[in-house]
Amino acid sequence: MVEETRVSERSARSARPDQDPRTTAVLMLAAVREAGAHLGNLLRLSRVEIRGNLRALARLVTLFGGVLLLVLAALVLLLFALRDALAALIGQDGPAALIVALPFLVAAAILTFLGVRRMSPRSPEA
Protein backbone atom coordinates (compact mmCIF):
# COMPACT_ATOMS: atom_id res chain seq x y z
CA MET A 1 0.00 0.00 0.00
CA VAL A 2 1.33 3.42 -0.91
CA GLU A 3 1.21 6.12 1.76
CA GLU A 4 0.55 9.72 0.85
CA THR A 5 3.09 12.23 2.11
CA ARG A 6 1.50 15.54 3.07
CA VAL A 7 3.02 18.68 1.67
CA SER A 8 2.00 22.02 3.13
CA GLU A 9 0.42 24.62 0.88
CA ARG A 10 3.34 26.97 1.29
CA SER A 11 5.99 24.44 0.31
CA ALA A 12 3.85 23.09 -2.54
CA ARG A 13 3.51 26.60 -4.03
CA SER A 14 7.20 27.36 -3.77
CA ALA A 15 8.40 23.97 -5.01
CA ARG A 16 8.90 23.31 -8.68
CA PRO A 17 6.77 20.53 -10.22
CA ASP A 18 9.78 18.30 -10.83
CA GLN A 19 10.80 18.63 -7.16
CA ASP A 20 7.49 17.38 -5.69
CA PRO A 21 8.39 14.74 -3.06
CA ARG A 22 5.23 12.71 -3.78
CA THR A 23 5.47 9.76 -6.12
CA THR A 24 3.42 9.35 -9.28
CA ALA A 25 1.33 6.61 -7.68
CA VAL A 26 0.48 8.86 -4.73
CA LEU A 27 -0.44 11.72 -7.07
CA MET A 28 -2.65 9.37 -9.13
CA LEU A 29 -4.40 8.11 -6.00
CA ALA A 30 -5.02 11.67 -4.85
CA ALA A 31 -6.37 12.61 -8.28
CA VAL A 32 -8.72 9.61 -8.30
CA ARG A 33 -9.89 10.43 -4.77
CA GLU A 34 -10.52 14.07 -5.70
CA ALA A 35 -12.32 13.04 -8.89
CA GLY A 36 -14.58 10.72 -6.88
CA ALA A 37 -15.36 13.47 -4.38
CA HIS A 38 -16.02 15.90 -7.22
CA LEU A 39 -18.34 13.42 -8.95
CA GLY A 40 -20.24 12.84 -5.70
CA ASN A 41 -20.71 16.57 -5.23
CA LEU A 42 -21.79 16.95 -8.86
CA LEU A 43 -24.39 14.19 -8.52
CA ARG A 44 -25.73 15.71 -5.31
CA LEU A 45 -26.00 19.11 -6.95
CA SER A 46 -27.69 17.69 -10.05
CA ARG A 47 -30.23 15.85 -7.87
CA VAL A 48 -31.14 19.11 -6.13
CA GLU A 49 -31.32 20.97 -9.44
CA ILE A 50 -33.52 18.32 -11.05
CA ARG A 51 -35.92 18.31 -8.10
CA GLY A 52 -36.21 22.08 -8.29
CA ASN A 53 -36.73 21.99 -12.06
CA LEU A 54 -39.39 19.28 -11.75
CA ARG A 55 -41.26 21.30 -9.14
CA ALA A 56 -41.12 24.41 -11.34
CA LEU A 57 -42.26 22.40 -14.37
CA ALA A 58 -45.17 20.89 -12.44
CA ARG A 59 -46.22 24.37 -11.30
CA LEU A 60 -45.97 25.67 -14.85
CA VAL A 61 -48.04 22.80 -16.29
CA THR A 62 -50.67 23.33 -13.60
CA LEU A 63 -50.88 27.04 -14.33
CA PHE A 64 -51.09 26.54 -18.08
CA GLY A 65 -53.71 23.83 -17.60
CA GLY A 66 -55.78 26.21 -15.50
CA VAL A 67 -55.41 28.95 -18.07
CA LEU A 68 -56.44 26.58 -20.87
CA LEU A 69 -59.50 25.47 -18.93
CA LEU A 70 -60.55 29.06 -18.28
CA VAL A 71 -60.03 30.05 -21.92
CA LEU A 72 -62.12 27.12 -23.13
CA ALA A 73 -64.89 27.99 -20.67
CA ALA A 74 -64.80 31.61 -21.84
CA LEU A 75 -65.02 30.55 -25.49
CA VAL A 76 -68.02 28.32 -24.79
CA LEU A 77 -69.76 31.14 -22.92
CA LEU A 78 -68.94 33.52 -25.77
CA LEU A 79 -70.50 31.12 -28.28
CA PHE A 80 -73.62 30.79 -26.13
CA ALA A 81 -73.87 34.56 -25.92
CA LEU A 82 -73.41 34.89 -29.68
CA ARG A 83 -76.15 32.32 -30.30
CA ASP A 84 -78.51 34.10 -27.90
CA ALA A 85 -77.78 37.46 -29.55
CA LEU A 86 -78.47 36.04 -33.01
CA ALA A 87 -81.61 34.34 -31.72
CA ALA A 88 -82.82 37.67 -30.37
CA LEU A 89 -82.11 39.34 -33.73
CA ILE A 90 -83.74 36.76 -36.00
CA GLY A 91 -86.34 35.50 -33.54
CA GLN A 92 -85.53 31.75 -33.72
CA ASP A 93 -83.05 29.59 -31.79
CA GLY A 94 -82.47 26.88 -34.41
CA PRO A 95 -81.10 29.00 -37.25
CA ALA A 96 -79.03 31.07 -34.78
CA ALA A 97 -77.40 27.89 -33.46
CA LEU A 98 -76.66 26.74 -37.02
CA ILE A 99 -75.12 30.09 -37.93
CA VAL A 100 -72.83 29.96 -34.86
CA ALA A 101 -71.92 26.29 -35.47
CA LEU A 102 -71.34 26.67 -39.23
CA PRO A 103 -67.65 27.83 -39.03
CA PHE A 104 -66.86 24.89 -36.73
CA LEU A 105 -68.60 22.46 -39.07
CA VAL A 106 -66.64 23.81 -42.06
CA ALA A 107 -63.33 23.58 -40.17
CA ALA A 108 -64.13 20.00 -39.06
CA ALA A 109 -64.99 19.01 -42.65
CA ILE A 110 -61.76 20.50 -44.02
CA LEU A 111 -59.62 18.82 -41.36
CA THR A 112 -61.39 15.50 -41.93
CA PHE A 113 -60.81 15.74 -45.67
CA LEU A 114 -57.12 16.55 -45.20
CA GLY A 115 -56.69 13.74 -42.67
CA VAL A 116 -58.33 11.14 -44.89
CA ARG A 117 -56.28 12.26 -47.87
CA ARG A 118 -53.05 12.07 -45.86
CA MET A 119 -53.91 8.59 -44.55
CA SER A 120 -54.69 7.14 -47.97
CA PRO A 121 -52.10 4.60 -49.16
CA ARG A 122 -51.43 6.47 -52.42
CA SER A 123 -50.90 9.82 -50.73
CA PRO A 124 -47.92 11.79 -52.12
CA GLU A 125 -47.67 13.80 -48.86
CA ALA A 126 -46.98 10.79 -46.62
Tens place of pLDDT for every residue, the chain, 126 residues? 444 455 444 455 555 666 777 888 888 999 999 999 999 999 999 998 899 889 999 999 999 999 999 999 999 999 999 999 999 999 999 999 999 999 999 999 999 999 999 888 775 665
Q: Is residue 6 included in any domain, yes or no?
A: yes
Q: Is residue 121 included in any domain, yes or no?
A: no
**pTM (predicted TM-score):** 0.51
What does the angle CA 97 – CA 99 – CA 100 come to, to the nearest 5 degrees? 65
What residue numbers bound the domain in which 43 lies? 1-68
**How many Å separate Cα 19 from the centre of its chain?**
53
Q: CA 22 to CA 29: how far, in whole Å?
A: 11
Q: Is residue 124 included in any domain, yes or no?
A: no
**Number of domain units in the chain:** 1
Q: Is residue 34 included in any domain, yes or no?
A: yes
CA distance readout (Å), 35 to 27, 38, 41, 46, 109: 12, 5, 10, 16, 63
